[in-house]
Structure 1
Amino acid sequence: MTSYAKRSVPHGAGFHQPPAEEHHIQITPEELAHSFVEEAPPADLSHYAVEDWATVALFWLMAAAVFLQFFTRYILNDSLNWTEEIASYCLVALVFVGSSMCVRLSRHIQVDILYRFLPAGPARLLSTLVDVIRTAFFVYLTHLMWRLIEVVGDEMMVTVELPKGLLYYAVLGGCALMAVRSLQVTVVNWRRGHSVLEKPEAFDGKGV
C-alpha cells in the first residue's frame, strides 16, 4: 500500500500579493547639502589672554612682511630690503610672546616619564621644585633683558629708521609674561595638588 502524507499549505500561499506602494520625496541639492550641516556652537573667547592676541598680531605682521618681500622680489623685481629685517624681528618677538602663551597652557616640552614611577609624595615635591625653578629662571631672564635694553636699547635698525628697542621691549614683555604666567601656574598647581607632569590627562588645555 502506498501512503501519501498531507502537507499543510500556508494561508494565502499560491496567491499573488501586490507589492507595497513606495513613495519618493523629491529633495533639491540645496536641501540635501543643508541636511549635513550642523549649527555651529557660539564661539567662546573667554579663555584667550592678551598674549594670545599679541601672538596672532605678530604672526600676521610677519606674514605680511614676508609676502611683501616675495611680491616685490619675484613679481616687481625690485625687492624692499626692510621687509626681511622686519620679518626676522617679528619672528623673534613672536617666539618670546608666544612662549608666554605656552607657559600659561603648560604646553612646553616636558619630561614626565619619571613621575610614572614615583610615589605621590615625592612626585608632588619634585613637581613643585620644577615650578619654582622655572619661575625663578623666567624672572632672571626678565632681569637680563632689562639690563640688555639699558646697554643697547638706543641702537637703530639697519634698513629702517627705528630703534631696536622696539624689538627688545617686545622680548622683555614676553619674558615678563612668562614669569607672571609661571607664577600663576605654580600657585594653581599647589592649590589643586598636582601639575601637568603628574596628571597630564586632567588638563583641558585652557590653562590658568
Structure 2
Amino acid sequence: MASSPEDGGRSKAAPAGGEEVTETETGTEILADDTPVDLSDLRWADAPAFILFWVLAFVVFLQFFTRYILNDSLGWTEEIARYLLVCVAFVGAIMAVRKNSHISVEFFYRYLPYKARRWLITLVDLSRIVFFIAMTVICIKLANKTNQKMASIEVSKAVIYWIVAAAFVAMTFYSLRVAQRHWKAKATSPSPEDSHAQVMD
C-alpha cells in the first residue's frame, strides 16, 4: 500500500486478528492487540486450576530468588514445584474436559458418512468415560498403598495421588455431561450438518 507525505512515510495495513500492522521505511511494526479477553466461558470449577497455577508460579519465583539473589536456596521449593506441576496438569485437564477442547484428530472423521460419525462419537465418549473411571480406581489404589513421605517436608506422597484421583472423578463427571450433550444433539438436530456442528462445538 502506498504511503502519503502526511503520514510520514507510513502506511497501515488492514488489521488481522485484532492486531494493527504498520509498515515503515525500516520494517514492519505490529502493535499490541487491545481486544478484551473473553472470560465468559470460565466457571467456579476452574478456580482450583488457577489457584494451583499461581501457587506454582510463586514457589518457582521463590526458588529463583533464594538461589540466584540470596545465594541460599530453599531446599523444599524444587520438590514442591515438581509436585505442583503434576497437580496443575491434571486439575487443569478438568477444564479441557468440561469444554471438550482436548486435542483430537478430525481429518478422517470429516470424510465419514453421517451415521459412521455418530457411532464414532459415541465410541469416543464411552472410551473416554471408561478410561477416566479406570484411572480413578488406579489412583485410589496407589494412594492407599503409598506410605512414603516427601523428601523435603513431612507430607505423604499419597496426597498427590488423591488430588489426581479427585481430578479424574471430575473429568468423569464432565465426560458424562459431554456425552449427554452429544446424545441431545443427535436427537434434536434437524440435519446431519447441524448435528455435526453441535457435537464438535
Same fold (TM over 0.5): yes
- Deviations, residues 159-198 of structure 1 (Å, cap 9, x unaligned): 011121221211111111111111110111111128xx94
Structure 2 Cα separation of the partners of residues 74 and 44 of structure 1: 36
Please tell me the residue identity of whatever aligns with 2:160. Answer: L
Deviation (angstroms), 1:116 = 1.5
Aligned partner of 2:189 in structure 1 is none
Of 146, 150, 157, which residue of structure 2 is paired with 1:157? 150
Of 86, 107, 122, which residue of structure 2 is paired with 1:92? 86
Aligned partner of 2:137 in structure 1 is 143
Of 181, 187, 200, which residue of structure 1 is paired with 2:180? 187
Question: Aligned-pair RMSD on alpha carbons?
Answer: 2.3
Structure 2 Cα separation of the partners of residues 44 and 69 of structure 1: 31
Deviation (angstroms), 1:48 = 2.7
Deviation (angstroms), 1:155 = 2.0
Structure 2 Cα separation of the partners of residues 113 and 198 of structure 1: 14
Aligned partner of 1:110 in structure 2 is 104
Q: In the alignment, does 2:74 pair up with 1:76? A: no
Structure 2 Cα separation of the partners of residues 171 and 90 of structure 1: 11
SS of the residue 2:42 aligns to: coil
Structure 2 Cα separation of the partners of residues 128 and 201 of structure 1: 11
Change (3 A) 1:201 1:186: closer
Structure 2 Cα separation of the partners of residues 44 and 130 of structure 1: 28
Please tell me the residue identity of whatever aligns with 1:146. Answer: I
Change (3 A) 1:120 1:151: same
Aligned partner of 1:199 in structure 2 is 197
Structure 2 Cα separation of the partners of residues 106 and 184 of structure 1: 10
Of 101, 113, 124, which residue of structure 2 is paired with 1:119? 113
Deviation (angstroms), 1:115 = 1.9
Identity %: 40
Please tell me the residue identity of whatever aligns with 1:58. Answer: L
Where does 1:7-22 land on structure 2 (aligned, <5 Å)? none
Please tell me the residue identity of whatever aligns with 1:166. Answer: V
| Structure 1, unpaired ranges of 5+ | 1-39, 204-208
Contact between 2:148 and 2:157, CA under 8 Å: does it hold in 1? Answer: yes
- Deviations, residues 94-141 of structure 1 (Å, cap 9, x unaligned): 111111110111111101112211111111111111111111100001
TM (norm. structure 2) is 0.73
Contact between 1:69 and 1:79, CA under 8 Å: does it hold in 2? Answer: yes
| Structure 2, unpaired ranges of 5+ | 1-34, 187-191
User: Which has more radius of gyration?
Assistant: 1
Deviation (angstroms), 1:86 = 0.9
Deviation (angstroms), 1:201 = 9.2
TM (norm. structure 1) is 0.70
Tell me which of the two structures has the higher relative contact order, counting C-alpha pairs closer than 8 angstroms and 6 or more residues apart.
1
Change (3 A) 1:174 1:202: closer
Please tell me the residue identity of whatever aligns with 1:178. Answer: M
Structure 2 Cα separation of the partners of residues 86 and 142 of structure 1: 23
